[in-house]
Chains A and B, each alone.
Chain A
Amino acid sequence: MLTAVFAIAFAALIAPALSRRFDDRAGWVLAIPPAVAFAWFVTCIPVIARGEDIVETLTWVPTLGVEVAMRLDGLSLLFALLITGIGTLIVLYAGAYLSDHHHLGRFYAYLLLFMMAMLGLVLADDMIAMFVFWELTSVASFLLISFQHEKSVSRRAALQALLITGGGGLALLAGLVLLGFAGDSWRFSGIDVTAVESSALYYGIMVLVLAGCFTKSAQVPFHLWLPNAMNAPTPVSAYLHSATMVKAGVYLLARLNPTFGGEMGWSMILIAFGATTALVGAVLAIRQTDLKRLLAYTTVTVLGQLTMLIGTNTTYGLQAFVLYLLAHSLYKGALFMAVGAVDHATGTRELSRLGGLLKLMPLTGAAVGLAAFSNAGLPPFFGFIAKEFAYAGLIQMGITGWIVTIAMILTNALLLAAAGLVFIRTFLGPRGHYPREPHEVSLPMWLGPMLLAIGGFLLGAWHHWPETWLVNAAVQAVARGEVDVNLYLWGGVTPALITSLITVALGVVFYRFRHQVRLQIARWRVFWGVSGDLIWDRFLKRIFALASLTASGFQHGSLRLHLTLLSLVLSAVVFVSLAIGGAGLFTGGSYTDLNVPSIMGSILALSGAGAAAVMRGRLALVAALGASGLGLALFFLAANAPDVATTQLMVETLTVVFLAFVLRSMPAIPRVADEGGISRAAHILISVLFGLAVALALLVVVNVPLAGNIADWYVQNSYPGGKGGNVVNVILVDFRAFDTLGEIVVVALAALAAATLLGGGQLTEMTRKGEPEFGSVMLRQAVRPLAGMLVLVSLVLLWRGHNLPGGGFIGGLVAAVGFILVVLSFGNYRARALMWVRPTLLVGVGLACAVGAGIIGLLMGEAFLKGLWIFPLGLPLGTPLLFDVGVFLTVFGSVMHMMQRLAGRPV
């Protein structure tokens, strides 16, 4: 079973390549996997008929105990035979039908993908696996309906189908998960029925599961999508939207019938919805003039009847369900394919233009005739037996049954009239008016309908065969207990037979007076005004409107409003928690003493920032921002953080240079007061609240002593574990090197992105001269040794960084500052020449060094980024040092890359 699923999936994968190579002949190759699978399932028939199940499992997520369990029982086997059997014929048919379509390969891929999913759906015993396949069929159906995606009608139909079945799928998932918990098993075969029935969630589960099944099987009021799905190419309509996919919902209903089919409402719901769907479908079908839409509505009818038959839960009802399922798949598949062939040959599907085709297309005509007889439920076809049993099943139910029976008589009579339209109107009578000269279609196109139609005839005429081998096992799988199966064509004069006769008589009358019937139906204008499709469109439009309303409320595109909301919420959270915490939060914990540098640093940082906030001159702004950063660096130094202070110093230098470069091309900044007084006041209030919130939150934090001793651990283990005296650097390149690796990747990415934008997305030419402001000869002469010294210092900082202040980050920044001096004084051409290589290459090498340092650890059988050391000649060399070199190169390369772009002149 698993092999079959995998083989078909594989065929889907190679389909596009194969069909590019062989065009439409690829179909003959691609039909092999489903054909072989069909043959294998046929060989399984005797085993299943003995009442045994075939089970295969595949471990999926072992840690969660999830496995793909496949179980073949009577019901699954019936479906598997239909899927692979009809699937084989459809693949052949599609090759001829779409022979010169330029996306034939894609079509095959979607079709086979669907086949794989559908097969998995009916075989899966595991609920989650079943659900995954279920959703896959929805996706495949979406792709197939929208296959002619250049037509807006197709796109709309595909979206509608996806939204309806997908929405139902979500409900189903919820239902299945609840069912799994309530029934204490994730296997369909292992559900504890009594536990489910006594569960408080029983009705919830039932409604959710029903929502999934009803949407998939197009029950009223979800039937909308199915007729629209006929915009798909005909092979798809024949396969997905009549024979297989739409029966997935019915399949699941049948599968769960043993669980829910007790005396708790399940039956009544199924009968009510099923009967309504059947009647609505039949009435709508008879109104259609397009053959394909007509067939689509009869499919809706049959799906309703199938749902209803499961609901009867009587011996005859369940037998009728299985028979009808089989019969319908055979004749409807045949009819769809034949209609496609007619369309293909004549160029029209309009009933008013068709007629007298039998002479022109004898083989197709014969197939349609056979299938239509089965469709109409006339003896000795399989469809007749199915209908007889359906009546018998309903009558077994008593009063309700009789009421439904009357509805069914009407429905079946309409179906019979529809069958008449399909066969008599199209193939008999005077010759129609065709857009092109009709001709008999090629072998693959008539073979499918013919085989299916003959199958329907043979199964009816020799009904002992299906009874013994197929129907019995399937009925046992659907029923709650043991059921006797006994098929007959002639069971004597029973109520069912009489009902059948009435149906046929009524059907003939309907066909004879079809125009009057249509007229009568058309009189009920009130109802046709209530169009489901229109409601759907309006509903969708409302949803879009609601979505855009909600979205535009939050995604208004105004940065200032975003920030206002953000900061107000943050402030509110802080203030509310402070209010709850009360005064107890500020007990005046032990603070360290102030020192002069820290006070000076604070003042400088705040006044610099304050000045930047109000000043207008661009140069003044740059200077103020720089002063603010310097103040912060001073504060860091006062707080015993020399490495941080150095980094801040270097970054501040670079910030000033970058800012100056960008701002020189900017217009003057308007005064702050240019905005209205109210919004200015509001901004002041928001900012003050935000600042207050941050300050208060920090005060609360530092009010209590630091919890834990993680700092102590790092200090104690820095030398023994990391072979380094500079604890901060050891943390960066050894203890938490993986974090640092991620961080330098971020720096590199930011630099790559920023550089592209800084260059205006264009190539820039390198400048051969420095900036005019650096034109003084004295200055330029002084810059040379200074830049050289800075680079040397950076290397020293890198080398000693493990034990003394310094390291890759600081070294890289210092080197960058040195080179930037060169760029400013001599132009970036000179800087590039001194660097030898492109900055981006340096970034790449740097990242490679960092990753390589980690991989060495792996190669030595240790963890990734494990620090390993050797001491040749007493020199401490280790992977952390290599890592730090990587950091150095990445940071240096990133800054230089941006600088090169920033300083370059547009070509």
Chain B
Amino acid sequence: MEWLAALTAGGLAGIGMWLLLDRNLIRVVLGVAILGNAINLGVLTSGRFSGTDAAFVTATTVPADPANPLPQALVLTAIVIGFGLFAFALAVLKSVRESHGITTTDRVTEVTEEPAPDAEEVGLQVHQDDADVHHNEGQPEGLEVRR
């Protein structure tokens, strides 16, 4: 069964990546969900499926060959967190669509990105240089400080 799980996880991962590479944001969000599923399955697979029974014990009996409970616990929370992530991605999708009216990935950057606030200043540095002190003779610095 492990090889089937590995191939399924691989297949899901490939499909997820294919969707993530798409230009349409809706497909990207779907890709997030599918890639998440692939990874969950991968984690569970790495715990092996050797057990014949689910991991339940009683006060007196312990199953002879239980399934590995640790990856199950990890994946269980991962699924819920994955849902949180998916919901957030959906929210971003919705909000991008509402505020910019677009649903393509590469355009989002162009539309939303603003130049850094001080990008201009780098080019406009004032040269307070030895050689040109003479130019501002009679205009002493620091007038603001004085009363």
Please report A residues at the B interface, Cβ cutoff 8 Å.
97-101, 148, 150-153, 156-157, 227-228, 231, 233-234, 284, 287-290, 293, 343-344, 347-350, 352-353, 528-529, 531, 533-534, 537, 540-541, 544, 557-560, 563-564, 567, 591-595, 598-599, 602, 605-606, 609-610, 612-613, 621, 625, 628-629, 632, 635-636, 638-644, 647-648, 651, 654-655, 658-659, 662-663, 665-667, 669-670, 672, 675, 683-684, 686-688, 690-696, 698-699, 701-702, 705-706, 710-711, 714-716, 718-719, 725-728, 731-732, 736, 739-740, 743, 746-747, 750-751, 753-758, 760-761, 803-805, 809, 813, 891, 894, 898
Contact = CB atoms under 8 A, between A and B. Distances in A.
| Chain B interface size range | 35 or more
A493 to B, nearest CB: 40
Contacts of B23: 560, 675
Contacts of B144: 148, 150-151
Interface in B13-58: 13-24, 26-28, 30, 33-34, 37-38, 40-42, 44-58
B44 A639 contact: yes
B140 A350 contact: yes
A184 to B, nearest CB: 46
A477 to B, nearest CB: 37
A647 B56 contact: no
Nearest to A743: B77
A153 B126 contact: yes
Q: Is the interface of B mostly helix, strand, loop or mixed?
A: helix
A710 B70 contact: yes
Given A347-B146, A728-B73, A743-B80, A636 B18 contact: no
Contact of A686 (B21, B123, B131): B21
Given A98-B145, A695-B10, A727 B83 contact: no
A644 B37 contact: no
Contact of B76 (A287, A567, A728): A728
A754 B2 contact: no
Contact of B44 (A636, A705, A739): A636
Given A98-B145, A702-B46, A732 B54 contact: no
A287 B86 CA distance: 68
Q: Is the interface of A mostly helix, strand, loop or mixed?
A: helix
Contact of A632 (B41, B63, B113): B41
A760 B10 contact: no
Contacts of B51: 640
B14 A690 contact: yes
Given A541-B122, A632-B37, A683 B137 contact: no
Contacts of B88: 750, 753-754, 757
B17 A644 contact: no
B69 A651 contact: no
B131 to A, nearest CB: 5
A669 B105 contact: no
Given A567-B17, A658-B90, A719 B59 contact: yes
Contacts, number: 375
Instruction: Give me the 9 closest cross-chain CB pairs, A-B, nearest first.
Output: A691-B14, A695-B10, A750-B84, A757-B91, A557-B109, A698-B6, A687-B18, A640-B67, A727-B69
A644 B5 CA distance: 15
Contacts of B80: 647, 651, 743, 747, 809, 813, 891
B2 A591 contact: yes
A757 B95 contact: yes
Contacts of B146: 343-344, 347
A126 B20 CA distance: 54
B106 to A, nearest CB: 5
B126 A725 contact: no
Contacts of B53: 640
Nearest to A899: B87
B145 A534 contact: no
B84 A558 contact: no
A875 to B, nearest CB: 16
A754 B94 CA distance: 10
Interface in B79-132: 79-88, 90-95, 97-98, 103, 105-106, 109, 113, 121-131
Contact of A606 (B3, B12, B27, B122): B12
A648 B124 CA distance: 57
24 contacts: A152-B121, A152-B124, A152-B125, A559-B105, A567-B17, A625-B34, A629-B33, A644-B79, A647-B80, A659-B90, A666-B26, A691-B11, A699-B2, A702-B2, A711-B70, A725-B58, A727-B66, A727-B69, A747-B81, A754-B84, A757-B92, A761-B95, A804-B56, A809-B77
Nearest to A227: B130
Contacts of B66: 711, 715, 727
B48 A594 contact: no
Contacts of B28: 559
A761 B92 CA distance: 11
B8 A153 contact: no
Contacts of A602: 4-5, 7-8
A612 B41 contact: no
Contacts of A234: 142
A560 B105 CA distance: 8
B40 to A, nearest CB: 8
B21 A563 contact: yes
Contacts of B126: 152-153, 156
B87 A613 contact: no
B33 A655 contact: yes
A690 B13 contact: yes
B28 to A, nearest CB: 7
Contacts of A804: 56
Contacts of B4: 594, 598-599, 602
A640 B91 contact: no
Contacts of A706: 47-48, 50, 68
Contact of A702 (B16, B38, B45, B79): B45
A543 B52 CA distance: 63
Contacts of A567: 17
A718 B34 CA distance: 33
B5 A639 contact: yes
B42 A698 contact: yes
Contacts of B97: 665-666
Contact of A760 (B7, B95, B103): B95
Contacts of B41: 605, 632, 635
B140 A349 contact: yes
B79 A647 contact: yes
A739 B75 CA distance: 13
Contact of B34 (A348, A609, A638, A750): A609
A533 B140 contact: no
Contact of B87 (A97, A750, A891): A750
Given A613-B15, A640-B54, A740-B77, A157 B91 contact: no
Contacts of A760: 94-95, 98
